[in-house]
Chain A
Amino acid sequence: MAKAKSKSIRFARLGVQILFFVLIAAISVNHTLVENGGGFQWLSTASLHALCPFGGVVSIWQVATQATFVKKIHESSFILMWIGLVLALLVGPAFCGWACPLGSAQEWFGKLGRKLFGKKYNTFVPGKLDKALRYLRYLVLAMVVWNTARLGTLVFETYDPYFALFNLWSAELAWQAAAILAATLVLSLLVERPFCKYMCPYGAVQGVFNLFSVFRIRRVAKTCIDCKACDRACPMNIEVSKAGVVRDHQCITCMECTSERACPVKDTVDLVPPGPAKPKAALAALVLPISGAEGKGRK
């Protein structure tokens, strides 16, 4: 059963993360270049606000009550919000695990933290405190949505580390956002994705979809050997080994726990639709041709 997992599987998510990160960085630089008389016409010149799905979320109230967008938000933010919601409805917060550049940046800093602290990495926050802190992001979400609706301005911009990450060179950078970004990256050396876990208001929106997304992570208890490899792999510290179905509000659909990645037993931890586990033969018939790189063994 044990076999080295395919390299393409290992790098598939990283590739998508790099794609989104580079694209957003390039557009953001191009936006500044165009404002300064340079830039590339073949590349989008949109501002970061126009490319942020959370901008759509915070504008909902203003659009509903006044039929106008919050300043600096445009139709594109709304479209991205809908794309994010469709994705979340289908497979949970894949936006967080696969596309969000700030999540990726934290993850990459975390790799360094893992090198520095080894097995201790991502275990520094005491369990009870960690559990309570994870509800903070809903408070952040409520405050941001409420104040944006009340004031009609993009209040989160001043504190947004995602905006800061791609505006380090811009006059629009607020020191508060820069400080939160610096703290996030430093904390990423100790804790995996600290901003996603404790503070991200968009992560809060996406996280709720874990409760009813069509596909979700399922562990087959019958074949599980209880090695806890899935628990160790999970960046969000979810105890997959204790779950039948992962409906944790913090899952980011990164698939690190699955039988294609951490789990050493085939067809034991997978992203599947609702319903009981299917017999192997039926499963094989359903597998699409592009899934040839199936993982069969230990990493």
Chain B
Amino acid sequence: MKIRIVHLAVAVPAIFVIGIGASMAFNAWNTESSKEPAKYTSGAFAGVANPADIRGSYSFADIEKAFGVPVETLARAFGVTAEIAGASGLAAYQVKNFEAIYEGLSETLEVGTDSVRWFVALYKGLPYEPAEEGTGLPNTAIPVLREAGLAADLLDKARAKVVELPGLANLPAAVGTGEAAGTGTGTGGAETRTIVGKTTFGQIEDWGVSRAKMAEALGMEPGPSNAVVRDWLAEKGLEFSEYKTELQALVDAAK
């Protein structure tokens, strides 16, 4: 018995078709992460979807489905018009686009995925501390939050982080082109040593902070090096923002 060229020409594509087909039949063929956010694990909100798990790939429709914030409300809060959203429409507009279209509006604040997490938490009355010091909210979000009945102290906190959007006509309609859309791995040469929502313990180690020092800052052994700090703390029912500043100070000291 020998395998001929024509056999392989049939068998190679066939093995792929059969393998993929079988996995589809068993519902195992997933090419995207699930858009079901993690839930709070403890406290009064245990079992409720946690906005901390909103990712750049979430569309407005995904957020509406998971958190019950209407697409139109999100669009209004973040200044996204049908023109900006383009042919795919507002519902399919992805959160990761903000980092590109709102880039450079403020020297200190940034409107991005973390802004959406914060907005959703405020709108739904859920606990969430922005993961980054520079997390801002567009000025268009303030009236939406006021109308939603947000408490005055929280509204003030939001106001302190407002980023003025330019005239909507000046915003680029195209997304995913030109500037980085914030989906890189953060492993390139121009890496900034800033702890953000997707930073792993391994990256912090790589920036010169030993695990012993991290343990001191955390008051416990840090997670495995490939674990995302925010997710690891969330699993333990701890707030990322509480530990971030101290970890960042260690990173800055190690520079």
Which residues of A approach B to under 8 Å, CB–CB? 8-9, 12-13, 15-16, 19-20, 32, 34-38, 44-47, 50-51, 61-62, 65-66, 69-72, 74-76, 79-80, 82-83, 86-87, 91, 94-95, 98-99, 148-155, 157-158, 169-172, 174, 176, 215, 253, 255, 258, 260-261, 270-273, 278, 283, 286-288, 290-291, 293-294
Q: Would you call B198 and A172 a contact (CB within 8 A)?
A: no
| Nearest A residue to B97, CB-CB | A35
Q: Would you call B174 and A36 a contact (CB within 8 A)?
A: yes
| Chain A neighbourhood of B7, CB < 8 A | 288, 290-291
| Chain A neighbourhood of B170, CB < 8 A | none
Q: Would you call A35 and B19 a contact (CB within 8 A)?
A: no
Interface size class on chain B is: 35 or more
Residue in B8, B10, B19, B185 whose CB lies within 8 Å of A79: B19
Residue in B12, B177, B226 whose CB lies within 8 Å of A94: B12
B238 on the interface (CB 8 Å rule)? no
Q: Would you call A46 and B31 a contact (CB within 8 A)?
A: yes
A35 to B10, CA, bound (A): 34
| Chain A neighbourhood of B5, CB < 8 A | 9, 12-13, 255, 258, 260-261
Measured between C-beta atoms, what is the minimum distance from B1 to chain A in Å? 5
| Chain A neighbourhood of B205, CB < 8 A | 150
In this complex, which of B5, B11, B19, B32 has the most chain A Cβ atoms within 10 angstroms of its Cβ?
A: B5
| Chain B neighbourhood of A87, CB < 8 A | 12, 15
Measured between C-beta atoms, what is the minimum distance from A274 to chain B in Å? 11
| Chain B neighbourhood of A169, CB < 8 A | 177
| Nearest A residue to B223, CB-CB | A66
Q: Which 10 A-B pairs have the closest CB atoms?
A: A152-B226, A37-B88, A46-B31, A37-B86, A37-B87, A50-B31, A12-B9, A83-B19, A151-B202, A152-B200
| Nearest B residue to A62, CB-CB | B226
| Nearest B residue to A76, CB-CB | B31
Given A19-B13, A76-B23, 8 other A-B contacts at CB below 8 A? A15-B9, A66-B224, A76-B29, A152-B200, A153-B185, A171-B181, A215-B3, A270-B2
Q: Would you call B228 and A82 a contact (CB within 8 A)?
A: no
| Chain A neighbourhood of B92, CB < 8 A | 37
Q: Would you call B6 and A290 a contact (CB within 8 A)?
A: yes
B162 on the interface (CB 8 Å rule)? no
Measured between C-beta atoms, what is the minimum distance from B38 to chain A in Å? 11
Check A153/B200 contact, CB under 8 A, given A50-B32, A66-B227, A174-B184: yes
In this complex, which of A95, A151, A294 has the most chain B Cβ atoms within 10 angstroms of its Cβ?
A: A151
A298 to B15, CA, bound (A): 31
A72 to B224, CA, bound (A): 19
| Chain B neighbourhood of A271, CB < 8 A | 2-4, 8
Q: Would you call B202 and A150 a contact (CB within 8 A)?
A: yes
| Nearest B residue to A39, CB-CB | B88
Q: Would you call B88 and A74 a contact (CB within 8 A)?
A: no
> Total contacts A to B, CB within 8 angstroms?
189
Please provide the chain B residues from 1 to 53 with a CB less than 8 Å away from any CB of chain A in the complex. Answer: 1-13, 15-16, 19-20, 23, 28-33
A166 to B202, CA, bound (A): 29
| Chain A neighbourhood of B68, CB < 8 A | none
Q: Would you call B185 and A158 a contact (CB within 8 A)?
A: yes
A56 to B227, CA, bound (A): 17
Q: Would you call A74 and B6 a contact (CB within 8 A)?
A: no
Which residues of B approach A to under 8 Å, CB–CB? 1-13, 15-16, 19-20, 23, 28-33, 85-89, 92, 94, 100, 174-181, 183-189, 198, 200, 202-203, 205-206, 224-228
* Sampled A-B contacts (10; CB under 8 Å): A50-B31, A62-B226, A91-B3, A98-B9, A153-B200, A158-B184, A171-B100, A172-B183, A255-B5, A260-B5
| Chain B neighbourhood of A148, CB < 8 A | 226
Q: Would you call B6 and A171 a contact (CB within 8 A)?
A: no
In this complex, which of A15, A20, A75, A149 has the most chain B Cβ atoms within 10 angstroms of its Cβ?
A: A75
Check A153/B1 contact, CB under 8 A, given A37-B85, A44-B31: no
A75 to B33, CA, bound (A): 9
Q: Would you call A99 and B16 a contact (CB within 8 A)?
A: yes
A212 to B94, CA, bound (A): 47
A286 to B86, CA, bound (A): 59
Q: Would you call A253 and B184 a contact (CB within 8 A)?
A: no
Check A151/B184 contact, CB under 8 A, given A66-B227, A272-B3: no
A288 to B1, CA, bound (A): 9
| Chain A neighbourhood of B29, CB < 8 A | 75-76, 79
| Chain B neighbourhood of A157, CB < 8 A | 184-185, 187
In this complex, which of B88, B198, B203 has the most chain A Cβ atoms within 10 angstroms of its Cβ?
A: B88
Q: Would you call B203 and A283 a contact (CB within 8 A)?
A: no
Q: Would you call B206 and A151 a contact (CB within 8 A)?
A: yes
A158 to B177, CA, bound (A): 18
A87 to B94, CA, bound (A): 37
Measured between C-beta atoms, what is the minimum distance from A176 to chain B in Å? 7
Check A149/B226 contact, CB under 8 A, given A155-B185, A155-B187, A270-B2: yes
A99 to B180, CA, bound (A): 31
Q: Would you call A37 and B89 a contact (CB within 8 A)?
A: yes
Measured between C-beta atoms, what is the minimum distance from B64 to chain A in Å? 18
